[in-house]
Chain A
Amino acid sequence: MDILNAIVALSNFVLVPAVAYGSQLALGALGVTLIYGILRFSNFAHGDTMAFGAMLTILTTWGLQAMGITGGPLPTALLALPVGIAGTAALLLATDRVVYRFYRRQKAAPVILVIVSMGVMFIMNGLVRIIIGPGDQRFADGERFIITAREFKTATGLSEGLAIKTTQGITVVSAVVVVALLFWFLNRTRTGKSMRAFSDNEDLALLSGINPEKVVTYTWLIVAALATIAGVLYGLDKSFKPFTYFQLLLPIFAAAIVGGLGNPLGAIAGGFVIAFSELSVTYAFKKVVNYLAPENLQVDALVQLLSTDYKFAVSFSILIIVLLFKPTGLFEGKSV
């Protein structure tokens, strides 16, 4: 029995990565949920919007590095982030003017807009691959670790190490800051309130004199920021590859739906639910079990419920189970 080592092993391989991954999913799901609540469609282009934002940030990072500017111990990408956000905002606003606004004027059904967003998704998808290529890009620089496994071992004297990557720390800190800002914005400011009003009851918002185009513009601006930050954080933590971002769409939607589409609080909760279930179901618990089990009951098997290949199946199983019991999601979302 070695409870301490078991906890450390569990933290190192499940808890810490899940908190980081959950924060990334939560930021992504917030973007999806805002679009759903205010523009009333499921934006399938969101994963590729994240890829586009991350790509712009990476290109700017390379530019900064070439000029000899770095973020010191922090990744240079954080300095490049504003450029990425501005570029993504420009792209989203342009897409809205050229594509979505037309369908809005036609009062197109939400399902049409979903298909339209798939079209936009494929275009963004291609755009990113043309510009930066389909390959893997690493752009994390600065300090790699806040605590390395070895430092942790010498400091605590445990045989199990706990490593916390700088990118994980940054992910969690920035997610907290971004979410706090977003909630302050939605609940305390006039613009945020008019967005909520628009999401709550569009007809009434119009008849209260709220300009819909303004609300839509602000929504895209916020979504651009959320998507770029989520994309960059994910890329820093893992690596940047366009196809991964396309795949990320699945857990992001699962997170938004589990939490209740259209509900920002739900998106955050959903992100963590999906991240924790994905990682804990696909983690091989052998080490943890062996620390806890008595000596004569040590296991040789991996004690892994599912191979990591099935991780998307996990998010969707969670999705189905939650929806069976709470059809509008954990937090009251809305259904069109």
Chain B
Amino acid sequence: MIVVENIVKKFGGFRAVDGASLEIAEGSITGLIGPNGAGKTTLFNVVAGVLKPTSGRVTMAGEDITGLPPHDLFHKGLLRTFQIAHEFSSMTCRENLMMVPGGQIGETLWNTWFGRKRIADQERALAAKADEVLEFLTIEHLADHKAGQVSGGQKKLLELGRTMMVNAKVVFLDEVGAGVNRTLLNTIGDAILRLNKERGYTFCMIEHDMDFIGRLCDPVIVMAEGHVLAQGSAADIMKNEQVIEAYLGTGLKHRKKA
């Protein structure tokens, strides 16, 4: 589905991503792990069009999408969420969801004045869809709350909800579970699994919680120092000596040996 070939991203002299190549298979939930500073988020930003790579290529279903701006990628079905939840703080949760998708009928000056009825129809459909999504995420009671005022975990759910407003193909989740309590984490995990099974979403997620990864992801890709270190099932990865060295820490190694 998504093929990343030899991506290099330099910030000045620092190579944040240094020749990373990986493949995200259609219909998979691919986990991306690695120590802090391994270049995971930078790689995400390159794939999602926020940063232009210094060199390398990204393709989606065979089509070269390297360096396309985020709103173009959105319309191709590639979506992402942020490590720190983003929201339109002055709008309600429902309105937040209704901002997606961009490029709606009402977004031209002409239609604003002369296409009132068509806009109203579309808005009604979107509002119904937004309510459906909020219900799916079990936060329907927050529909009319300002998004800036809901909790951090609920904002994460809202981020996930945004990807459900359109038929996304690939969704990149940047630490969707960070700073979220266990119960809410399970809700998010369930939502991801359901989206994957029922709607065929492909996911690629950066995560640090190995239990969460173990439950959702196959395969798991490990990054360190800007390139891909290892790839395999979650169980294999946890046994891999190199990975333990670079990321999981020696504590785990000793414990296993004992």
Contact = CB atoms under 8 A, between A and B. Distances in A.
A329 to B, nearest CB: 15
Interface in A205-241: 205-212, 214, 218, 221
A203 B104 CA distance: 18
Interface string B3-18: 0000000000000000
Given A207-B70, A212-B71, A218-B109, A194 B102 contact: yes
A4 to B, nearest CB: 46
Interface string A177-206: 000000001000111011011001101111
Interface in A227-260: none
* Range for the number of chain B residues in contact with chain A: 20 to 34
A293 B84 CA distance: 64
A206 B99 contact: no
B80 to A, nearest CB: 6
B239 interface: no
Contacts of A191: 106-109, 112
The binding surface of chain A is classed by DSSP as helix
Nearest to B79: A207
B53 to A, nearest CB: 15
B108 A209 contact: no
A194 B99 CA distance: 7
Most buried by B among A191, A203, A204, A205: A204
A254 B99 CA distance: 33
Given A197-B91, A201-B86, A207 B107 contact: no
Interface residues of A, number: 23
Given A194-B107, A211-B71, A185 B112 contact: yes
Nearest to B165: A208
Contacts of A214: 107
B107 A200 contact: no
A197 B95 CA distance: 10
A108 to B, nearest CB: 16
Contacts of B91: 193, 196-197, 200
Interface string B96-135: 0001111111111101100000010001000000000000
Contacts of B212: none
Given A191-B106, A194-B107, A209-B71, 12 more contacts: A190-B104, A191-B112, A196-B90, A200-B91, A205-B88, A206-B50, A207-B48, A207-B74, A208-B74, A210-B99, A211-B71, A218-B109
